[in-house]
Amino acid sequence: QQQVKQSPQSLIVQKGGISIINCAYENTAFDYFPWYQQFPGKGPALLIAIRPDVSEKKEGRFTISFNKSAKQFSLHIMDSQPGDSATYFCAGDNYGQNFVFGPGTRLSVLP
């Protein structure tokens, strides 16, 4: 199994702060790196995704930074809000063969 490692396991951030979650992967054949957001009692939903031909992708307050040589990517949440409190999963996908998810990070944003 090609692992995707994720850290930290849990994160507490003050409102307005920056949340940073890091992931590392092993499979160099991965061609798609999504981040999923999951609220309690709900299924995960796609938040933002990147392909390895770019080093950064930004959508509103959410940014993915991608380092192909280090096989690492990270999610940055700027101006974190209490509504961002959720569990975040990174993943790698190998040309649509199947997703490999990281173990998840539980984010709590304090008001």
Partner 1 sequence: DAGITQSPRYKITETGRQVTLMCHQTWSHSYMFWYRQDLGHGLRLIYYSAAADITDKGEVPDGYVVSRSKTENFPLTLESATRSQTSVYFCATQTRDFYNEQFFGPGTRLTVL
Residue 102 in the binding site for partner 1 (CB under 8 A): yes
Residue 93 in the binding site for partner 1 (CB under 8 A): yes
* 3-class state of residue 83 by DSSP: helix
Residue 104 in the binding site for partner 1 (CB under 8 A): yes
Residue 99 in the binding site for partner 1 (CB under 8 A): yes
Binding residues for partner 1, rule CB under 8 A, total 21
Residue 18 in the binding site for partner 1 (CB under 8 A): no
* Segment 27 to 86, residues that bind partner 1, using CB under 8 A: 32, 34, 36, 41-46, 49
8 Å CB contact between 110 and 14: yes
Rounded to 5 degrees, φ, ψ at 15 are: -55, 135
Residues forming the site for partner 1 (CB under 8 A): 1, 6, 32, 34, 36, 41-46, 49, 89, 93, 96, 98-99, 101-104
